[in-house]
């Protein structure tokens, strides 16, 4: 059995919280196991002056961590599941998907209680094309302001009056003890979450079966089934972060209910689909919903977004 585990993580306070949470659970599952954090800065953290879509996508948050695994500087990496591309590099594996925190988006503002209270022309900060497109679909009179940086940086910009509101992941705010900043939780009907939102991913080298066994107690079967269905939608559509795509699965009786959408960045065109399927075949459900999205016009939206 592995005697020491080093966890590769980004340096942001949220990423460090997530890695420390996994470390604590590993120590509880394996008394005597030495667990250390190996913080590092990723390209996604450095390139704050451009949108993620323009500089290479959310994969920029994980590449340096994967390099640390390949070079033996860490044994596992902890990511926000929504930041992990649907296609992993050869030789890497998702060893566990943890229990999900609240997957919803959160509306944060100093003066306004919910999005429909915002005055026409109000600026709303978000780094997510998915959030922006759904917001603009309901409120085309608003101005979306691309906003990068960690949670605290974005909140500081809001407090300085650089925008009227933010849309952030509720999970991140809760994990940082900032749930009090949430003015409204946006239900999936208002803002369908990103694939994997609210869950944590533990990644390791595919060949390290010992590490996969080590982290297995941290895996949550319900979250894994839901996330696998959601990520299958992205995979079947070959959709990266340049595409406003949402997918959210939840238990429905003995099976899963999966809802998904693909939108144009301005929210003027949205293809929506949903289906029910068995929890033991989440990828098949994701493929079914992806095909339904294409029937509703997703293929045309994706073609218009192609470079």
**Residue 274's CATH number:** 3.30.160.40
300 is a domain residue: yes
**Quick one: 94 and 203 in the same domain?**
yes
Q: Is residue 285 part of a domain?
A: yes
Residues 157 and 208 in one domain: no
Are both 179 and 263 inside the same structural domain?
no
The tokens describing 238, both together, are 């070959």
Do 267 and 208 belong together in one domain? no
pLDDT at res. 223: 97
**Mean pLDDT taken over the chain:** 93
Q: pTM score, two decimals?
A: 0.91
Domain assignment present for residue 34? The answer is: yes
Find the mean pLDDT for residues 160-181.
Answer: 97
The pLDDT of residue 50 is above 60: no
Do 65 and 48 sit in the same domain of this protein? yes
Same domain (yes/no): 294, 209 = no
Tell whether 60 is covered by a domain. yes
Of the candidate ranges 37-41, 55-59, 272-276, the one whose mean pLDDT is the lowest? 55-59
Whole-number pLDDT of residue 55: 45
* Cα–Cα dist 118/233, whole Å: 33
CA 195/CA 232 separation, integer angstroms: 9
CB-based contacts of 60-65 (< 8 A; 24+ apart in sequence): 61/10, 62/203, 64/8, 64/40, 65/8, 65/9, 65/10, 65/40, 65/203
- The distance in angstroms from the start CA to the end CA of the chain is 48
Count, residues in the chain: 307
What is the rounded CA–CA span in Å between residue 210 and residue 221?
Answer: 20
Position 43 scores a pLDDT of: 62
Asked if the structure places residue 45 within a domain, the reply is yes
Query: Catalytic residue numbers?
Result: 83
Which whole number is the average pLDDT over 158-182?
97
Same domain, 69 and 130: no
**pLDDT, average across residues 168-178:** 97
The structure tokens 């919280």 sit at: 17
Q: Does 8 share its domain with 87?
A: yes
CATH number at residue 182: 3.40.190.10
Residue 192 lies in a domain: no
Q: Please tell me the predicted confidence (pLDDT) of residue 306.
A: 78
pLDDT at 48 over 70: no
**Domain containing residue 139:** 105-186
Q: Is residue 225 included in any domain, yes or no?
A: no
Q: How many folded domains does the chain comprise?
A: 3
Same domain as 124, residue 179: yes
In a domain, 242, yes or no: yes
Q: How many CB atoms lie within 10 A of CB 238?
A: 11
Nearest-angstrom CA–CA distance, 264 and 243: 8
Mean pLDDT: which of 240-249, 276-285, 297-306 is highest?
A: 276-285
């Amino acid at each position: 059995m592995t005697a020491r585990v080093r966890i590769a993580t980004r340096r942001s306070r949220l990423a460090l919280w997530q890695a420390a949470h996994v470390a604590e659970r590993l120590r509880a599952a394996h008394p005597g196991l030495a667990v250390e954090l190996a913080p590092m800065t990723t390209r996604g953290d450095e390139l704050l002056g451009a949108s993620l879509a323009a500089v290479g996508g959310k994969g920029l948050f994980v590449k340096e961590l994967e390099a640390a695994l390949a070079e033996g500087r860490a044994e596992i990496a902890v990511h926000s599941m929504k930041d992990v591309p649907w296609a992993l590099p050869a030789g890497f594996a998702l060893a566990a998907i943890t229990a999900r925190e609240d997957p919803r988006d959160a509306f944060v503002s100093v003066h306004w209680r919910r999005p429909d209270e915002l005055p026409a022309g109000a600026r709303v900060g978000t780094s997510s094309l998915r959030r922006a497109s759904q917001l603009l679909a309901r409120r085309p009179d608003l101005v979306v302001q691309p906003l990068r940086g960690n949670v605290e940086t974005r909140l500081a910009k809001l407090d300085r009056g650089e925008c009227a509101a933010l849309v952030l992941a509720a999970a991140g705010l809760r994990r940082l003890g900032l749930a009090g900043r949430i003015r409204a939780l946006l239900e999936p009907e208002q803002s369908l979450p990103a694939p994997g939102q609210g869950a944590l991913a533990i990644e390791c080298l595919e060949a390290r079966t010992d590490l996969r066994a080590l982290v297995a107690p941290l895996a949550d079967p319900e979250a894994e089934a839901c996330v696998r269905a959601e990520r299958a939608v992205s995979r079947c559509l070959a959709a990266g972060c340049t595409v406003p795509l949402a997918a959210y699965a939840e238990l429905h009786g003995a099976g899963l209910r999966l809802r998904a959408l693909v939108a144009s960045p301005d929210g003027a065109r949205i293809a929506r689909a949903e289906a029910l399927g068995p929890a033991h075949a989440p990828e098949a459900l994701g493929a079914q919903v992806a095909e339904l999205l294409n029937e509703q016009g997703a293929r045309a939206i994706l073609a218009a977004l192609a470079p």
